[in-house]
Amino acid sequence: MNGYNKIDYAVNIVEAYRHAKGLSGEEVAKLFGDAGVFKFLEDFGDTLHCQSDETTIAEIDDFIKAQTPRHDTFRTDARRT
């Protein structure tokens, strides 16, 4: 990414996703690892980092759905109470 640190970006997105979904960092890391989201962020981070976190989270949800059609952890309404 031009002038943008990929690791800092990935950490920011993990934190944003964790807060949006009510998940732990460990849960997000496992979900992202299992679904290939870290590679997705590496491959498309140059474009994704120009979007809001909310838009990127929606993109990640779509990506995960395409990878694991029956997985519902990523749903916007799947927050823990």
**Is 26 a domain residue?**
yes
72 in any annotated domain: no
Residue carrying structure tokens 């979904």: 21
Whether 1 is in a domain gets the answer no
Distance CA 63, CA 75 (A): 12
- 26 backbone dihedrals φ, ψ, rounded to 5°: -65, -40
Q: Which residues of the chain have pLDDT under 70?
A: 1-4, 68-81
Query: Which token pair is 47?
Result: 């474009």
Q: How far is CA 64 from CA 1, 3, 15, in A?
A: 22, 27, 17
Tell me, yes or no, whether 17 lies in a domain.
yes
Q: What is the pLDDT of residue 15?
A: 97
Nearby residues of 24 by Cβ (< 8 Å), 6 or more positions away: 18
